[in-house]
A and B are shown apart, each in its own frame.
Chain A
């Protein structure tokens, strides 16, 4: 990835709405309350109301590029004739997503690996090309269960972002990280002032203080993969998964999880007409690995917990040389029964 020279600017908090106003060629999204207590990325309806003071959103922003439902193609067949397939590649209007936490953008980088590295998924890429991510550094931990630093990230990490904003006293420090990001800043024109040395110092201070917030550590991250491999057959998996209810919260809300299922949605049975769709799936669901024969290689909750943890800390590391966990803490906070991936890694991922 080629890195352009970063462009650092300052924006008055009060001018955020004005900047957004100049981006009307794009659909704008920012974290907002979807319902009581439910933070989600919502279309910006009134820029003045965007405060960017959100805790961690319930959903990560992965849906912009990997929606829960993607139509792959439409099919139809007149009896006696050949079936007609009509590929439906997405062509969304360009969008800017504000307020993306660095852990989530790091999740995006991992999604990129999955959907572009070995196989270039046109659906993913079609959307990815149209979304610009404006990140926001976490001056305060947005969740009590943050552990980004334990998995190689940081509250001000820049990977996957086009722009990183850091809130300073009454201002935002806005750093363009990609050409797309620079363009975005350019649209703001006069609203942005060049960052001065004092500003840069303030940002560094803010970032340092953000990094200083205590997080739950994972010792020896480099040895976790090996340890997990060694503990593959440990009875502790079953024990730790005893309380697991087998829902999809941890995976659906994970910024890196990317598994899907493909099914046909029949619109009319005769003449035959329908859509082939790809929808999110979860390794925690009992039907995920179910064979037609009735055999299920991952029948137990323990084996499914192991799959989730090993995928993130072992298999992905082996295949792509990085963890597939960015420490957002959603799976820990939202697990109905307190299954805690950090505890699991501590217990089975240490030599």
Chain B
């Protein structure tokens, strides 16, 4: 069980000593059950930090945002920033380091182990509680969550209300950290890895298309999936309407010549293209934090789409994103033994 007091104390001492600029962690939200990401620069505010199964967000995103912000603010504070990272978050940080997005020394990773469980799926929990509003969720040993409602606390087997990705998680312990809280539990995947994808793959192709067409049709193009993804850190996205990355020497032609691969219209063809481009760009980079799926206001099963190629990466190319910051990336490397029989 994670000692949250020790976590707070560690964060506090980092800030007191001035060895980090800020600590990115979780605190309680006013908007609902799920925790909210908090960037804390004041040592006294570290008391707000929490770590419980409501801490769903992948905080690696805020390292990316922090970098963008710092470019803008031209701050010369060279101290690292600390970040609380679950297993999946730490994998995301590793991928970012692998892609040289920031140097290793610029981040202090406070690893937190999900131990035997993971984080909650708010939708599953709401169903489980059948209308009752959960006020808090806490770890209760390595197999259960303790859930408080107006009627008091109850213990529920974690597997019943855990996020799908946590059920399939292969490494709930941070792969990279400067300080770790919680026990490393190796045996924990409650479902077989890629179970959901494999199940979907069994469908007839026409049914699969019918399924995805239905999903794509209701996409709002709010881009929450892109915005929440730590890997979607491009200056300019294929769906952006205009040239984003503009330098003083960017010519008018370059601005005018922006390729419109995807129209802004929320038509099926364009939405499909958007999600497929994202999926292909995430190949070998997606750490299955499933934030894209969680944030989607219309419940598009994006995790299913994005883990399809992760399954290939893992099973065909023996590539596990976020496991080695020094390895070449999936698509900028190859092996002589890569599949060839699909080629005529």
Contacts and interface: CB of A to CB of B under 8 A. Distances in A.
A294 B246 contact: yes
Contact of A343 (B30, B215, B294): B30
A333 B235 CA distance: 29
Contacts of A336: 57, 224, 228, 291, 294-295
Interface stretch (A19-27, A100-108, A126-134, A282-290): A282-290
B30 A338 contact: yes
Nearest to A340: B31
A88 to B, nearest CB: 14
A252 B242 contact: no
B265 A58 contact: no
Contacts of A144: 32, 133
Contacts of B69: 300
Contacts of B65: 245, 301
A279 B297 contact: no
Contact of A279 (B35, B72, B265): B265
Nearest to B35: A338
A40 B218 CA distance: 10
* Count class of interface residues, chain A: 35 or more
Nearest to B133: A144
A337 B72 contact: no
Contacts of B221: 68, 248, 252, 280
A252 B220 contact: yes
A247 B34 contact: no
Interface in A273-304: 277, 279-280, 282, 285-287, 290, 292-294, 299-301
Contacts of B297: 58, 249, 253, 334
Nearest to B36: A338
A294 B250 contact: yes
Contacts, number: 137
Interface string A101-118: 000000000000000000
B223 A285 contact: yes
B32 A333 contact: yes
Interface stretch (A30-38, A74-82, A167-175, A193-201): A30-38
A32 B243 CA distance: 39
A332 B31 contact: yes
B154 interface: no
Given A290-B242, A300-B72, A34 B298 contact: yes
B263 A245 contact: no
Contacts of B163: none
Nearest to B265: A69
A202 interface: no
A230 interface: no
A263 interface: yes
* Count class of interface residues, chain B: 35 or more
Contacts of B106: none
A335 interface: yes
A276 B224 CA distance: 26
Given A38-B299, A279-B264, A337 B37 contact: yes
Most-contacted residue by chain B among A300, A333, A334 (CB, 10 A): A334
B167 interface: no
Nearest to A253: B297
Contacts of A285: 223
B34 A338 contact: yes
B57 A337 contact: yes
Nearest to B300: A35
Given A286-B244, A334-B297, A340 B30 contact: yes
A124 to B, nearest CB: 18
Contacts of A247: 222-224, 226-228, 295
A261 B37 CA distance: 31
B32 A292 contact: no
Interface in B255-291: 255, 260, 263-267, 291
A161 interface: no
B61 interface: yes
B123 A37 contact: yes
Interface of B: 29-32, 34-39, 57, 61-62, 65, 69, 72, 123, 133, 214-215, 218, 220-224, 226-228, 240-244, 246-248, 250, 255, 260, 263-267, 291, 294-295, 297-299
Interface of A: 34-38, 40, 58-59, 68-69, 144-145, 242-243, 245-249, 252-253, 261, 263, 265-266, 277, 279-280, 282, 285-287, 290, 292-294, 299-301, 332-340, 342-343
Given A38-B299, A340-B31, 16 more contacts: A34-B218, A35-B215, A40-B298, A59-B220, A144-B32, A242-B38, A242-B39, A243-B36, A263-B241, A266-B260, A277-B265, A287-B241, A292-B246, A292-B255, A294-B250, A338-B36
5 contacts: A252-B220, A293-B246, A294-B247, A338-B34, A338-B35
Pick the 4 closest A-B CB pairs, nearest first: A294-B246, A338-B29, A247-B224, A338-B36
